[in-house]
Amino acid sequence: MPSKSCNEKIVIRKARREDCSKILDIGEEAWSKQGMSYRLKEKFGIVGSRTPGQRIRETLLGLLQKNLDNTLVAEVNGNVAGFLIYSFDDDRKIGHIGYNAVSYSFRGKGIGTRLVREALSVFKERGMRYAMVFTDLDEAHAAARRVYEKCGFKPLVKHVTYFMKL
């Protein structure tokens, strides 16, 4: 797929160890302003001992340490601008798209879509028959929903998370 910006060379490739710190930075940038920990912080103040940014860094670090092979990055003119982590349910032949984000200054150039399309081709090559991804229904995830639907996903279940103070 052609990039929306003709001056930039966008390459989608497997992540390498030296990409990890940039992936954590992009994750922190995104999930400091959206997602469950952010929502909790907005409503109740910081819940627990760590900020949403610290939590996402820990979560992503754990996933990268276990699963670097299942991580894609988008490189723009040699700089890591986005990432996507995936996993496989080999029994049900479902490829799962997990955490993925593009750094603010690179959004809207088709990078998120290219990362998802690449993950879908990896799934097919691995013999997966289905693909799945979870996302939120709020405005912060509107771009993500657009990307998934552009790539062929259809909504399966819309769900609610309940929470209360004890």
Binding site for ligand COA (CB under 6 A): 30, 100-102, 107-113, 135, 141-144, 146-147, 150
Nearer to ligand COA, 1 or 164 (CB): 1
* Token pair of 29 as six digits: 């940038």
Nearer to ligand COA, 30 or 127 (CB): 30
User: In Å, what is the CA distance from 80 to each residue of 31, 41, 48, 75, 84?
Assistant: 17, 29, 31, 4, 12
Residue 46: CB atoms within 10 Å: 13
The residue of the chain with the least Cβ separation from ligand COA equals 112
CB of 105 to ligand COA, least distance (A): 10
Nearer to ligand COA, 20 or 101 (CB): 101
Task: List strand residue ranges (DSSP E) for the chain, in order.
Answer: 10-14, 71-76, 79-89, 94-102, 130-133
CB of 133 to ligand COA, least distance (A): 6
